[in-house]
Structure 1
Amino acid sequence: MERVIGFIGAGNMGGALLGGLAREGLQNTVLVFDVSEQALANAVSLGAEGASSAAEVAMKADIIVLAVKPQFYPDVLPQVQGNLRKTAMVISLAPGYDIAALKKVLGQEQRIVRAMPNTPALLGEGMTSVAFSEDSYEVEEKEAVLQIFRKAGKAVEIREALMDAAMAAASCSPAFAYLFIEALGDAATAMGVPRALSYEMAAQSLLGAAKMVLETGKHPGELKDMVCSPGGTTIQGVIALEKAGFRAAVMEAAKATLDRAQEMKQS
Structure 2
Amino acid sequence: MATKFGMIGGGVMGEALLSRLMQKQLYATEEVLVSEPQRERRDFLAQQYGIQVTAENRAVAAAKDVLLLAIKPQVFAAVAADLEKEISAQASPPVVISIMAGVSLSQLEAAFPQAPAIRAMPNTPATVGAGMSAIALGQHATERHLEQAKAIFQAVGEVVEVPESLMDAVTGLSGSGPAYVALMVEALADGGVAAGLPRAIASSLALQTVLGTAQMLHESGMHPAQLKDRVTSPGGTTIAGIAQLERAGFRSALIEAVVAASRRSQELGR
Name the TM-score, length of structure 2 as normaliser: 0.92
Letter in 1 for 2:19: G
Partner of 2:214: 210
Q: Contact 2:95–2:141 at 8 Å: present in 1 too?
A: no
1:74 has 2:80 as partner: no
1:39 has 2:34 as partner: no
Q: CA deviation at 1:233?
A: 0.9
Partner residue of 1:235 out of 239, 247, 250? 239
Q: Contact 1:116–1:171 at 8 Å: present in 2 too?
A: yes
Gap change, CA 1:223 and 1:258, over 3 Å in 2? same
Letter in 2 for 1:123: V
Partner of 1:89: 95
Measured in 2, the distance between the counterparts of 1:3 and 1:147 equals: 18
Measured in 2, the distance between the counterparts of 1:194 and 1:19 equals: 36
1:101 has 2:104 as partner: no
Partner residue of 2:125 out of 111, 120, 133? 120
Letter in 1 for 2:168: D
Measured in 1, the distance between the counterparts of 2:51 and 2:101 equals: 26
Gap change, CA 1:52 and 1:35, over 3 Å in 2? closer
Unpaired runs of 5+ residues, structure 2, are none
Aligned 1:193-204 pairs, distance under 5 A: 193-204=197-208
Partner of 1:54: 57
Q: Residue by residue, what CA displacement relative to the aligned partner does 1:62-99 show, whole Å, maximum 9, x if unpaired?
A: 20011111222122111111111344110111112101
Measured in 2, the distance between the counterparts of 1:51 and 1:259 equals: 35
Name the TM-score, length of structure 1 as normaliser: 0.93
Q: CA deviation at 1:222?
A: 0.5
Letter in 1 for 2:121: M
Letter in 1 for 2:15: G
Q: Contact 1:18–1:43 at 8 Å: present in 2 too?
A: no
Q: CA deviation at 1:52?
A: 4.7
Measured in 1, the distance between the counterparts of 2:252 and 2:51 equals: 46
SS in 2 for 1:95: coil
Unpaired runs of 5+ residues, structure 1, are none
Measured in 2, the distance between the counterparts of 1:70 and 1:265 equals: 8
Measured in 1, the distance between the counterparts of 2:164 and 2:212 equals: 31
Measured in 1, the distance between the counterparts of 2:3 and 2:111 equals: 24
Matched residues, number: 263
Q: Contact 2:126–2:156 at 8 Å: present in 1 too?
A: yes
Measured in 1, the distance between the counterparts of 2:93 and 2:62 equals: 11
SS in 2 for 1:68: coil
Measured in 2, the distance between the counterparts of 1:151 and 1:95 equals: 20
Measured in 1, the distance between the counterparts of 2:148 and 2:156 equals: 14
SS in 2 for 1:199: helix
Measured in 2, the distance between the counterparts of 1:260 and 1:60 equals: 32
Measured in 2, the distance between the counterparts of 1:166 and 1:211 equals: 21
Measured in 2, the distance between the counterparts of 1:52 and 1:195 equals: 45
Letter in 1 for 2:76: Y
Q: Residue by residue, what CA displacement relative to the aligned partner does 1:179-205 show, whole Å, maximum 9, x if unpaired?
A: 111111111111221212212211111
Measured in 2, the distance between the counterparts of 1:191 and 1:95 equals: 40
Letter in 1 for 2:9: G
Measured in 1, the distance between the counterparts of 2:191 and 2:76 equals: 42
Q: Contact 1:31–1:61 at 8 Å: present in 2 too?
A: no
Q: CA deviation at 1:41?
A: 2.2
Partner of 2:68: 65
CA RMSD of aligned residues (A): 1.7
Measured in 2, the distance between the counterparts of 1:136 and 1:144 equals: 11
Partner of 2:186: 182
SS in 1 for 2:193: helix
Q: Greater shift after overlay, 43-52 or 228-237? A: 43-52
Q: CA deviation at 1:31?
A: 1.3
